Amino acid sequence: MRHFTIHHDGVTTPVSRGGQGRPLVLCPGLNSTQAGLHELAELLRRDHDVVTFDLRGHGLASAADRYSFEAFLSDLVAVMAELGRLTPDAAPVLVGYSLGADLAVHYASEHPGTVAELVLIDGANPVPEPFITEAVLPEFRAMWEDLATQQEAAPGTAHQVLLTAQEILDLNVEIDVVRSSILDRYRKIDRPISMIMSTSMAGDSGEGHAPRFNQNWRAGVERLVRDQPHIATSWLDADHGLVVTHAPEIAQIIRSSQGSAGRAIS
């Protein structure tokens, strides 16, 4: 394993790299860290040269004076630029989880030819309806306030998240806007794309908002595949935490799907 840091835009990004085989960059999402993706990264290192990192304000990365979609995208751009400098002749597989999937799609659409293929885990979904509406706003605000309080109890760890509840809420509202036009981004990408999605991203409760959220999630994927039928889609019987709870299955799908985008997997 090699560990190094990248300094850009006033932040310090910690990067880890190890394994053998094809280069692969694993991009975390909002409220997730490379430490939280440790099991998946270790499984992928069996046949990939895996690069992991923390987004600003997450894990061992430094805090920042701004947290926005474009700011997080600049973190990924900086990592990809450094990898390109270190390994100029090998375009990596780019794997993104949750918000990381959205970042991966935007990166690939803006930097043609720099990735070999995309694997998107439970994110970058062109859902037909926004998730954050006035009806659910109080519930989400309370949930993220609880999460922020829990994170404040364990500062300085590889799992920490420095964002406030309001910053997390603002980002989720921004992500809804980003996803409303993400189909245009997909249309600019000429690399193979595979998606690994949860069947119950909001949990399997039949009460509250979960059924509507889950239906919206599936409808978004169906919308995407109608528009981009070459995208291979795998569904796992899991919620949005699938990257932790189903790491072995995800690693196996990534191994088996490379170079075979265009077929659907159930």
What percentage of the chain reaches a pLDDT higher than 70?
A: 96
Q: Which helix (H) or strand (E) holds 196?
A: strand 193-198
Q: Tell me phi and psi for residue 36, to 5 degrees.
A: -70, -20
- Assign residue 31 the CATH number of its domain: 3.40.50.1820
Element housing 19 (H / E): strand 11-19
Structural contact between residues 153 and 159, judged by C-beta atoms closer than 8 angstroms? no
In eight-state DSSP terms, residue 228 is -
Asked if residue 264 is part of any domain, the answer here is: no
Residue pLDDT, tens place only, 46-68: 999 999 999 999 999 999 999 99
In a domain, 230, yes or no: yes
Q: How confident is the model at residue 144 (pLDDT cuts 50, 70, 90)?
A: confident
The position carrying tokens 């994110």 is: 123
Does the pLDDT of residue 123 top 50, yes or no? Answer: yes
232 in any annotated domain: yes
- Model pLDDT, residue 208: 85
3-state helix, strand, coil in the chain (%, to 5): 40, 20, 40
- Residue 141's pLDDT is 85
Evaluate whether residue 263 is within a structural domain: no
Distances (CA, A) of 10 to 34, 57, 72, 106: 20, 12, 13, 22
How many residues are recorded in the chain? 266
Task: Please give the Cα distance from 150 to 160 (Å, whole number).
Answer: 10
Q: Which tokens go with 223?
A: 């919308």
The total of other beta-carbon atoms located within 10 Å of residue 138's CB is 9
The tally of domains found in the chain comes to: 1
d(CA 7, CA 238): 36
Strands 117-121 and 48-53: unpaired
pTM above 0.85, yes or no: yes
Give the residue from 98, 112, 48, 103 showing the smallest Cα distance to 79: 103
Give the SS3 label for residue 184: helix
From 47-56, 132-141, 227-236, 256-265, the region with the lowest mean pLDDT: 256-265
With a cut of 70, say whether residue 262 has pLDDT above it.
no
Give the confidence band of 266 by pLDDT, cuts at 50, 70, 90.
Answer: very low
Range of the domain at 53: 2-257
Identify whether 266 is part of a domain: no
How large is the average pLDDT for residues 81-85? 96
Is 245 inside any structural domain? Answer: yes
Question: Has residue 248 been placed in a domain?
Answer: yes
Of the candidate ranges 106-110, 148-152, 203-207, the one whose mean pLDDT is the lowest? 148-152
Cβ-count burial 18-56 (b if 16+ within 10 Å, e if not): ebeebbbbbbbbbbbbbbbbbebbebbbebbbbbbbbbb
Whether residue 76 is contained in a domain is answered as: yes
- What is the rounded end-to-end Cα distance, in angstroms, of the chain? 35
